[in-house]
C-alpha cells in the first residue's frame, strides 16, 4: 500500500471517528444532558432526533423520560389511635428537570434510594395523624393525595415529579390480625348463641301455644263426645223404656237372655238353687206373667210406636228428636 493510500485511510478513519463523536441521537423515550469535563453544558435535550456536540471533550448522559415505578417494601406505621398497621405502597414518578436531577442524584439508582426515603417519611407523617379505621376503610383516596403532595414538596429539589403514591395494602401485623380474628370469632359465636337462644325461646313459645291449642281442642272434643254420648245413652234408654212399655214380658225375656250371655261361659261357675228366679226362663221359656195380644190396653204413645215399627220407620226420629234434627 502506498503512502498516499495510507494517509487517505487514516484521514477517513479520523473523519468517521469525528462523525461518531460529533453526532448523537436521542430516542423519544429518553432525554439527554451534554457534559463537558463532567459538568453540564447548555439546556437539557428533551426532543428526539439527531443532535450535535463537540467531539472528544463532550459526553452525553441519557435519562429516562417515561413514568417510572418504585415498589416500596412493606413497613409498619403507628396510627393516631396507637394501632400498628403494615402498609405496602408503590410510587409512580418521572424526571421532570433532567439538569437538576443530574446535579442532585446523578443516576436512577441513587434517585430510587432517595425517593424511597421521601415516600416513607411522607407515608408515616400523613398516616400517623389518622386513625386506623380512616386509613383502612374510610378515607384512603384523600390520604394518598396528601402523601403525593407531601412527597412532591420534598422531591422537587431532586428534579423529580411524583405522579402518585398508591397504597396496595394496609392491614394489621400478623400477630394483631390473629388476635382480632379470634376476638371476631368469639363475638360471632356469642351472636350465634344469642340468636340460637332467641330461636329456642320462640320455638318453646310456639310449641307451648300449639300444645295449649291441642289441649283445648281435645277438651272440647271430649266434651262434645261426652255430650253426644249422653244424648245417645238417653235416647237408647228412652227406646228401651218404650220397648219395655210395649211388651213387658218380652222385655223381661230379652234382658234375661242378655244376662245369660254376659254371665255364663265355659269358665263361669254359679251356685244357685234350682228354683232361683235367675233360671226362670231356662226352666220354662213360656213363663211370662200375663200374655195378651190385644192392643186395646196400650196407651196412645205405645200405639204410635207400633205404627212406626209397622211402617219401617226409625224409633229414634220419634223418641230422640234432638238426634233426628242433626
Phi then psi for 288, rounded to 5 degrees?
-85, 150
| Amino acid 295: pLDDT | 44
Dihedral class, residue 42 (left if φ above 0, else alpha if ψ from -120 to 50, else beta): left
Residue 150 or residue 21, greater confidence: 150
pLDDT in tens, 160-212: 999 999 988 887 777 766 777 788 888 999 999 999 999 999 999 999 999 99
Side-chain half-sphere exposure of 229, counting CA atoms within 13 A: 6
User: What whole-number distance in Å separates Cα of residue 226 and Cα of residue 324?
Assistant: 18
Domain ranges of the chain: 3-64, 68-172, 209-324
The whole-number average pLDDT for the span 314-321 is 60
Q: By mean pLDDT, which of 73-87, 198-212, 254-268, 287-301 is the weakest?
A: 287-301
Per-residue pLDDT, 216 = 92
For 68-172, CATH gives: 3.30.479.30
**Cβ 323 vs Cβ 232: under 8 Å:** yes
Residue 3: is its pLDDT beyond 50?
yes
Q: Give residue 307's pLDDT.
A: 65
- Tens digit of each residue's pLDDT (9 = 90 or more) over 225-250: 998 888 888 877 777 777 676 666 76
C-alpha cell at 307: 205404627
Instruction: Tell me the chain's radius of gyration from C-alpha atoms.
Output: 60
Which residue has better confidence, 62 or 270?
62
DSSP characters over 235-299? HHHHHHHHHHHH-HHHHHHHHHHHHHHHH-STT------TT-GGGHHHH-TT--S------TTS-
In this prediction, residue 118 carries a pLDDT of: 93
- pLDDT recorded at residue 318: 60
Q: How far apart are CA 183 and CA 189, in angstroms?
A: 10
45 pLDDT higher than 60? yes
Amino acid at each position: 500500500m502506498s503512502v498516499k493510500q495510507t494517509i487517505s485511510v487514516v484521514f477517513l478513519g479520523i473523519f468517521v471517528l469525528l462523525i461518531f463523536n460529533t453526532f448523537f441521537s436521542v430516542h423519544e423515550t429518553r432525554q439527554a444532558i451534554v457534559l463537558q469535563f463532567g459538568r453540564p453544558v447548555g439546556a437539557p435535550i428533551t426532543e428526539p432526533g439527531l443532535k450535535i456536540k463537540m467531539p472528544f471533550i463532550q459526553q452525553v448522559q441519557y435519562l429516562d423520560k417515561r413514568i417510572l415505578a418504585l415498589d416500596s417494601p412493606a413497613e409498619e406505621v403507628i396510627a393516631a389511635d396507637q394501632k400498628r398497621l403494615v402498609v405496602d405502597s408503590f410510587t409512580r414518578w418521572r424526571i421532570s428537570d433532567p439538569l437538576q436531577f443530574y446535579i442532585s442524584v446523578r443516576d436512577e439508582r441513587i434517585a430510587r434510594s432517595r425517593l424511597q426515603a421521601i415516600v416513607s417519611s411522607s407515608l408515616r407523617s400523613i398516616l400517623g395523624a389518622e386513625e386506623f379505621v380512616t386509613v383502612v376503610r374510610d378515607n384512603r383516596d384523600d390520604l394518598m393525595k396528601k402523601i403525593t403532595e407531601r412527597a412532591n414538596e420534598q422531591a422537587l429539589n431532586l428534579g423529580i415529579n411524583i405522579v402518585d403514591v398508591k397504597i396496595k395494602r394496609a392491614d394489621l401485623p400478623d400477630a394483631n390480625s390473629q388476635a382480632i380474628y379470634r376476638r371476631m370469632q368469639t363475638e360471632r359465636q356469642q351472636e350465634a348463641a344469642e340468636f340460637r337462644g332467641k330461636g329456642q325461646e320462640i320455638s318453646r313459645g310456639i310449641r307451648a301455644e300449639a300444645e295449649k291449642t291441642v289441649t283445648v281442642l281435645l277438651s272440647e272434643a271430649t266434651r262434645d263426645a261426652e255430650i253426644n254420648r249422653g244424648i245417645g245413652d238417653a235416647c237408647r234408654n228412652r227406646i228401651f223404656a218404650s220397648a219395655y212399655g210395649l211388651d213387658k214380658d218380652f222385655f223381661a225375656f230379652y234382658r234375661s237372655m242378655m244376662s245369660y250371655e254376659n254371665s255364663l261361659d265355659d269358665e263361669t261357675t254359679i251356685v244357685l238353687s234350682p228354683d232361683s228366679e235367675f233360671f226362670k226362663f231356662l226352666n220354662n221359656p213360656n213363663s211370662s206373667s200375663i200374655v195378651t195380644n190385644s192392643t186395646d190396653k196400650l196407651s196412645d204413645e205405645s200405639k204410635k210406636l207400633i205404627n212406626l215399627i209397622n211402617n219401617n220407620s226409625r224409633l229414634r226420629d220419634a223418641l230422640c228428636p234432638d238426634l233426628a234434627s242433626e
